């Protein structure tokens, strides 16, 4: 962990009881779901983390509690520091408070997470799918969502497989 990050992590530990994991010099702070918006606000307002570089999720299926980690990668331009917050979320009905009020970039990122992982964000201003069309079933980036494949067609079974294919026939 970088020297300048240590007091900031310490403050987060005291205020929000975060636990810290370190790997290859990167600190990953696990925050409880109820504290995330406060923690982000603190980092933005008092420690100059102006940029929410990335917001994404990791699916630890088949583990169910917690199943997901919502990852917030923050960057401070003034101090040239990076910090990572992680919110563990359970598998059934995953819900997190929306960070859209703190960082505007969270609006699209959270729509993507809703679309791809089915994680709902409380208080999100525009909760629609973003990449998949409206009405899609399932959430493609979950580990239990099948990748899908196409059956190879040969001359002897071409028509048989063609009939099963899901594209429009008319």
Partner 1 sequence: MAQLEEVTIDQYRHLVSERALTGETMLLNMGPQHPSTHGVLRLLLELDGEIVVNCIPDIGYLHTGVEKNMEAKTYQKAEVMTDRLDYMNTMGNNLAYVMAVEKLVDLDVPPRAQALRVILVELQRIASHLVWLGTSGLDLAAMSMFLYCFREREQILDIFELVSGQRMMTTYLRPGGVWRDVPVEFEKAVRDFIKIFPKRIDEYESLLTKNPLFIDRMVDIGYLSKETALSYGVTGPTLRASGVDWDLRKKRPYLGYDQYEFEVPVLHEGDTYARYLVRIEELRQSLRIVEQALNKLPMGPVRSENRKFVPPPRSEIGVSMEALIHHFKLWTEGFPAPDASIYSAVESPRGELGVLIAGDGGPKPRRVHMRTPSFDNLAVVPELVKGHLVADLVAILASIDIVLGDIDR
38-41 LR contacts (CB < 8 Å, sep 24+) = 39/12, 39/15, 39/85, 40/72, 40/74, 40/85, 40/99, 40/102, 40/103, 41/102
> Judged by CB under 8 A, does residue 135 bind partner 1?
yes
Least distance CB 11 / partner 1 (angstroms): 22
CA distance 43 to 26: 17
**For the window 114-133, what string marks contact with partner 1 as x by the rule CB under 8 A?**
-----------xx-xxxxxx
| Among residues 18, 43, 107, 119, the one that binds partner 1 under rule CB under 8 A | 107
Residues 6 or more apart in contact with residue 65 via CB below 8 angstroms:
90, 91
Stretch that binds partner 1, among 9-17, 57-65, 87-95, 150-158 (CB under 8 A): 57-65
> Judged by CB under 8 A, does residue 166 bind partner 1?
yes
Binders of partner 1 in range 74-103 (CB under 8 A): 75, 77, 80, 82, 84, 103
- DSSP labels, 104-144: TTHHHHHHHHHHHH--EEET-S----SSSPTT--S-TTSTT
- DSSP labels, 17-35: --EEEEETTEEEEE--GGG
> Judged by CB under 8 A, does residue 163 bind partner 1?
no
Handedness of CA 92, 97, 98, 99 (dihedral sign): negative
Least distance CB 130 / partner 1 (angstroms): 6
- Toward partner 1, which CB reaches closer, 59 or 121? 59
Binders of partner 1 in range 15-54 (CB under 8 A): 23-24, 26, 28, 50-54
Q: Which positions touch partner 1 (CB under 8 A)?
A: 23-24, 26, 28, 50-54, 56, 58-60, 71, 73, 75, 77, 80, 82, 84, 103-105, 107-108, 125-126, 128-137, 140-141, 143, 145, 147, 166
């Amino acid at each position: 962990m970088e020297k300048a990050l240590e007091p900031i992590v310490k403050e987060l530990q005291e205020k929000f009881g975060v636990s810290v994991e370190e790997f290859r010099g990167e600190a990953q702070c696990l925050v409880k779901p109820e504290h995330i918006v406060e923690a982000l606000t603190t980092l933005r307002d008092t420690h100059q983390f102006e940029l929410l570089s990335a917001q994404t999720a990791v699916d630890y299926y088949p583990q169910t509690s917690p199943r997901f980690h919502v990852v917030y990668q923050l960057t401070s331009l003034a101090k040239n520091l990076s910090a990572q917050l992680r919110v563990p979320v359970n598998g059934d009905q995953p819900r997190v408070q929306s960070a859209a009020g703190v960082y505007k970039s969270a609006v699209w990122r959270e729509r993507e997470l809703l679309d791809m992982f089915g994680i709902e964000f409380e208080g999100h201003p525009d909760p629609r799918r973003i990449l998949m069309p409206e009405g899609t079933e399932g959430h493609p980036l979950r580990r239990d969502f099948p990748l899908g494949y196409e059956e190879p067609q040969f001359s002897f079974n071409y028509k048989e497989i063609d009939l099963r294919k899901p594209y429009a026939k008319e």
